Each structure stands twice: as C-alpha cells, then as structure tokens.
Chains A and B, each alone.
Chain A
Amino acid sequence: MVDVPLGPAGAVPPADVEDMSLYHPHSWVTKYVFSQDAKVIAVQYSITALSVGLIALVLSWLMRLQLGFPGVFSFIDANAYYQFITMHGMMMVVYVLTALFLGGFGNYLIPLMIGARDMVFPYANMLSFWFYLLAVLVLVASFFAPGGPTGAGWTLYPPQAITSGTPGGQDWGIILMLVSLMIFIIGFTMGGLNYVVTVLQARTRGMTLMRMPLTVWGIFTASFMALLAFPALFVGCVMMLFDRTLGTSFFVPAIVEMGQPLERSGGSPLLFQHLFWFFGHPEVYIVALPAFGIVSDIISTHARRNIFGYRMMVWALLAIGALSFVVWAHHMYVSGMNPYFGFFFATTTLIIAIPTAIKVYNWILTLWRGNIHLTVPMLFALAFIVTFVNGGLTGLFLGNVVVDVPLSDTMFVVAHFHMVMGVAPILVIFGAIYHWYPKVTGRMLNDALGKLHFWVTFLGAYLIFFPMHYLGLMGMPRRYYDSSDIAFVPSSAHTLNAFITIVALTVGAVQLVFVFNLLWSLRHGRKADGNPWRATTLEWQTPETPPPHGNWGKEQPVVYRWAYDYSVPGAARDFIPQNEPPVARPSLETVS
C-alpha cells in the first residue's frame, strides 16, 4: 500500500511519493505473473476476458447454427443447445463485459488518468485478478464435468436450474456455475474496493472530482454499483448452492418431478428472481456507465471539441447509477406480481430514460460543428451512440407492462438486450482498445484491418438483430431449441433465421481479424509517440510510452485544468493537456 503522508496543508498529497513506498517487482514472475502493477493486472484481465469472449463467441455460432438450420447438425441436441445459450449469456455479461470494463479498463485507466502511481491496495488488486482467473477456470471446467455445464438459462431460475430435467441440474454443471460466480464476486470486491478508494484517495494535486475525465467517473460509479449489486447475486448463489447440495428449500417449492413429488417444499422461486434481478438490472448499467464515460472521451478527443455539458454528464451518471437500483422488477412483469408494483417499476424504468437521453443529446451536441476525425475509435464511438439509441428505444417498449407482456420471452427481448447491452458496450470496448492500444503497447493498430473490422461488425450487428425484432413481433419464442414445428411461424421466418445465422458467422469471423490485428501490431504496428491522438488527459502525458512501473518517473503530474480543453480559442495547439500550466493568453478580442 502506498501511504500518502499528509502535510500540514491537510488533504493535498505531496508532489512526489517516495519511491521506497512503491511496491517494486524483483523478478520476472513478480513483474509479469504475480504482478501488483495495475497496468500489468489490466492486461492480464483483458487477455483473460477476451479469451472468454472468444469461447462465448463460438458458443453463439453453435446456437445460431441450430436456430438457422434446425436438425442439420446432429451434435447439437436440445441439452447442448441450452448449455450453449446459458454459458454464452453468463460468460458475456459477467466474465467478459464486467471484467473488461472494470478489471481491464478500470485498472489501466484509473491510476493513469487521475495521476496516481498505482492503485491504493496493489496486493488486493493482484488477488482480484487471480480470483477472477480461478472463477473462469471453474466455469470452463464445467464443460468437462460429468453432465456438462448447466443449461438453466443465464438467469439460472430455480427450481428448474437444480432439478433433473435441466442439463447440469443434478450433475456438476450448476454447482460449478454457482461456485464460479461466488469466486468472481469475491475477487471483484477486492478489485472494486481498489477502483473506488483509488479515485477517492489517490488523485494527484489539482485533480478535483470535477476535473476527472468522464471515463473515470463512469468506471467509478459503476464500481460502486457493482460493489452493492453483486452481493445480491452472491446471496442468491449461496442459497441455491445450499438448496442443491444440502437439501434446504430456499427456492424449491413443493413440486412433482417425473410424476414423483420431491421431498422439498416451502421454497419461493420468486425470491430468487428478486435477488437475481436486484443484481441483474444494475448490472446493465455497470456495463453501460464505463461505456458512457469512455465514449464521451473518445468523441471529445476525435471531434477536437470539449464535451458538451460536462456537469450534466456527471450528474446523469450518478442519477442513472442511483435509479438503476429501483427498477429491477421490470424483468418480472409476467411473474404474477401485484399490478401496482408493475406500475411503480414501469414508472421508474421510464424515468431512467431522462438522464440517459441527456447523455445522448450531449454526445450529439459535442459532435455538432466539431472537427470530426473518422478514425477507427471514433467510428466505434459513433456506432455506439446509434446502437444505444436503438436498443434504448425498444427498452421503452419493454418497460411498459402492457407492451411487455405479449413480447415477453420472444425474440424481441433477445434483440433488445443484445442491441443495448451486447452490441453497444462491445462496440465501445473495441473503440477503446483501438484508442488506448498505442499507450499500452507503444504501437498503433492497423488502420485498414480496423476499418474492415468496424464495418463488418457494425453492419453485421444490425443485419443480425434488426430482423430479430420482427421475429419477436411475429411471436417467435426465445429459448426454443427447435421452432420449425410451430404452426404460427411462417416459413419466411425460417429463411430469416438462416440469414441471421450466416451473418452471425461472418461477423464472428471478422473478430478473428481483430485478434490477428492485436497480435500482429504488437510487433509490426506503426510506432506510436506518447500522444498519437493529441489528447488532453493525463494518461497521454506520461514521460515514457508504454508507461513504466510507477507511471510518472520522478514527479507526479500537477493538474491545472479540466480534461476537455480542445480547440481553445487563442491557444497555440488545438488541445491543452491537463498538466499544462496556464499562461497569460491574449484575450478573445485581441485575437479576432
């Protein structure tokens, strides 16, 4: 832990943290494997999460193959199909998106952007990654366990998740899933404490809260939310694990299984739904808020324009964070709840649209009359805005009880949440990787490959998910292994499904181009200088690129301004770094 001694002036940390108080690696193992340096941990998190993402991508191919060409692939039976959708969902939501945004970008960007040398609890930070890796290994191990992974659906609703009809329900699948989630949550808590306390305690001199880049605000708010929301999933997991292994009946009511009444009785399946969605809904914003922050910074940098309405952006982040805890039951409209509850939750759900819309307007106003550079990160950021608006609009449909009830459990829901929390955040992740790769590696990613990756991914995502809305409106159910026998589904729907599958395979394939680009550019990419995008934030002002251990060399930077001084009238360059001292500039009148 870096102890920042406090001077007589009170809360202002000194300019230079003595090198003795920084943790120093002494061998290759402590430098690259069991490292306590947030930057190394960030790369470890990112590589692990991207690998899990590739596994989840392959799972989505397999399930699309079944949906597009039912009966053609004999190795995909109903059980395998349910296992694919379950693992795809859980991996993408928790082990990819959450881990990448908070563990990956959080670790890399928080210390650099606030001018700190490292996280405040480096040891806990290291443990956080190893817990995460263990959670991933336990999860992946369930593919090789007897009975295979769980096929309960990513929501793991009991009692079906732990009964014998569901794949993995009476085998190892569900146990490994629950244990893995619990390990993940414990690991995340250690990381999350770091992200929050580092932002609170380790900001460099002059970095007031309102001078922080929106990326840090987004990750900070999301970390807080995750710290408070993940316990709900933890509680649900512990109780279900007890139900599965110790014979308790928290969630198992009196049911008849295969004609035989189970020994259990008295459990409440609804209780699990409440716990799950009390985590599950904030989770949407845990993923979205870092994306919001990162997009704000990318747009501002690549449009050479200060972010419009910075204060409002910060307040909107906080408001979304708070509101997201009181909307969970909109995932449960069809659970037979009291209609007044439905009304309440529909209202809070629609209220969230207000701060969200403020953010969208502010992004657009930032672009207005900006000097837009259509670089690859910018393309991804712009695509995010469009996609998020699209997915958000269908959210307004589903947030209303009367519209949600007929659409519930159809492909419309699948299309909605993939647009808003699948495609949209992933676009930001790609954009952010193209944006910060030069800082992490010292080399640029290949531009042509990047543009190919962008266009195929962006257009492909729309070709996949737009038709899915129509399938949903038609009544095509989700979670069905084979819908070719359903009378009301016309044959055109099957053609559409085959089309979606082909596009999905194409979009999947182009991700391999991205992976190739990541690896190839490591050696052969164009060399990047310290600040290739001419950005203002501190991470671009490090004395060396990639930043060495301790980030700042001898002295920590001192911050004199906010993070968005782009195209300031009268300034020599079109950007002024945060650590550039103010100079007496000619006033506007004398310039004109």
Chain B
Amino acid sequence: MTSIILFLAGLAAFGGWWLAKQRISAKPWLEEGLAGEMPGTGALAIPAAKVGLGVFLAVVGALFALFISAYSMRMGMSDWRSVPMPRLLWPNTGMLVMSSVALQWAVVATRRGDEDVVRISLLAGGFFAVAFLAGQLWVWRQLEESGYLLAGNPANAFFYLMTGLHGLHMLGGLVALGRTTDHAWRGEAPAGIRLGVELCASYWHFLLLVWLVLLNLLTGWADNVIDVCRGLLT
C-alpha cells in the first residue's frame, strides 16, 4: 500500500499548505466585522469547474495509486511472471504524447484567439487520442493471440485491467473533448470555449502522466524503485 500512502501524503501536504494560507489559526470569535475586511474571505480566484476537475483528478489519482499498490503487492509474491511488453506500446505512447501536445496547442491558440488553429488542434488532439485507444486495443489482440489471456495469470489480469481502466478514462475525456470541439466548429468564439479547452488539456496531461507511470510499472522499469521501497518497509 506504499503508493497510495505516498500519493495521499502528497495530497495531505498540499492540503496542509493550502489551509495554512487560509488563516485556520484565526480566532473567529474575536473577529466581528464587515466582509472583505478579513483576508481569506470568499471563493478562490479560479473557476469552480477547474477546482472541480482538480478534486476529480485527485480521486482518479487515488484510484490508480490503489491499483499500483495492489499490483506491487501481488508482484512481491514468488510466482510472479510478467507479461512481455508488445512493441506497439511505444508508438501508442507517442500518440498520447501528440494528443497532449495538440491540446496544449489548442490552449495557447484560445488564449491568442486564433479560431482556425483552435479547431484544428482540437481535432488533432481527438484524432491522436482515438489512435492511442485503437493502438491499445491492438495491443490487447496481440497479447491474446500469443496466448496471454486475461485469466491466464495475475500479471495478465493486471495488465488488461489497468490499461482498460486508463482507456475508459480516455473515453470519458473524449466525450468532453467532443463537446468542446463541436462548440468550436459551430463557430463559438475562442473566449467562450477557453475554459472547456483548458479543462480538456489538463485532463489529458494528467492521463498522459498516469500512462507514463503505468508504462514504467508494467515494463518493469520501476521494479528497482519498488524493491527499494519494499526494502525500506521490511
């Protein structure tokens, strides 16, 4: 359970830092007075949707951290046999990176107010994301054809489950991206869709980060790190 504890410790550190700025050592019983006189009043200067996405990403992060915890616990048992990594995972990762880059490009373009670039970069982001998902499905097929079935051994099951869950999160993101792209192509001004584009881009970067962590873990690069952690704990 080390990964989830580390993840939550990170969140707790952030939460503590944020609360420290909110004057939680104030003595409210002494502070009678007009609004606005007190610092730390009212809402954050960020749109609610962004805060909402931030909290949601914390939840998704916890979900994946838990899967990683379970994975590394199971890996520690003596009968562990890893899945061979299909090479196709590399181009897939490239697709996902391109998708993230395209959306970041869209964010920059909305800020500049460049409508055409926004439309094209949103489309490109969606295209690369779909390509990534198709590639992942292809990876599943390759594994299946070489006999690594879901129920074959725990490593296979973890591989399918974690890539599948990541893919589902991409699919959910694609729905939001589809809506934003639709708005852009219907001629809504860049300022009107800026929030949507920014939210999509943040979500994409986050899923890219999750994917890179998963890839590290599944390909075994992270084994050494896990061994060190286990050494510390036992």
Contact = CB atoms under 8 A, between A and B. Distances in A.
Contact of A211 (B28, B55, B63): B28
A249 B74 CA distance: 11
Nearest to B195: A3
Contacts of A249: 151, 153-154, 157
A248 interface: yes
Contact of A121 (B36, B44, B48, B74): B48
Contacts of A322: 12
Q: For chain B, which range describes its interface: under 10, 10 to 19, 20 to 34, or 35 or more residues?
A: 35 or more
B106 to A, nearest CB: 21
A3 B47 contact: yes
A311 interface: yes
B29 A564 contact: yes
A297 B74 CA distance: 46
B35 A193 contact: no
Interface string B1-35: 10011001001100000010011111111011111
Given A12-B36, A120-B52, A271 B70 contact: yes
Contacts of B222: none
Contact of A275 (B42, B44, B70): B70
Nearest to B64: A231
Given A121-B48, A201-B51, A271-B70, A4 B38 contact: no
Given A193-B52, A228-B62, A203 B42 contact: yes
Contact of A271 (B23, B52, B73): B73
Contact of B59 (A189, A203, A311, A314): A189
B40 interface: yes
Given A227-B59, A235-B66, A268-B77, A202 B151 contact: no
Interface in A1-58: 1-4, 6, 9-13
Given A197-B52, A227-B55, A278-B1, A266 B79 contact: yes
Contact of A206 (B23, B38, B55): B38
A559 B45 contact: no
A10 B41 CA distance: 10
Given A4-B48, A197-B48, A197-B51, A271 B74 contact: yes
The 7 residue pairs across chains A and B that have the minimum distance between CB atoms:
A206-B35, A562-B28, A247-B151, A205-B35, A248-B157, A231-B63, A201-B48
Interface of B: 1, 4-5, 8, 11-12, 19, 22-29, 31-36, 38, 40-45, 47-49, 51-52, 55-56, 58-59, 62-63, 66-67, 69-70, 73-74, 77, 79, 150-151, 153-154, 157, 161, 165, 234
Given A10-B45, A11-B42, 10 more contacts: A4-B43, A12-B42, A120-B52, A227-B58, A231-B63, A266-B79, A271-B74, A558-B35, A560-B34, A561-B32
Interface of A: 1-4, 6, 9-13, 120-121, 189, 193, 196-197, 200-211, 227-228, 231-232, 234-235, 238-239, 242, 246-250, 266-268, 271, 274-275, 278, 306, 310-311, 314-315, 318, 322, 325-326, 338, 558-562, 564-565, 581-582
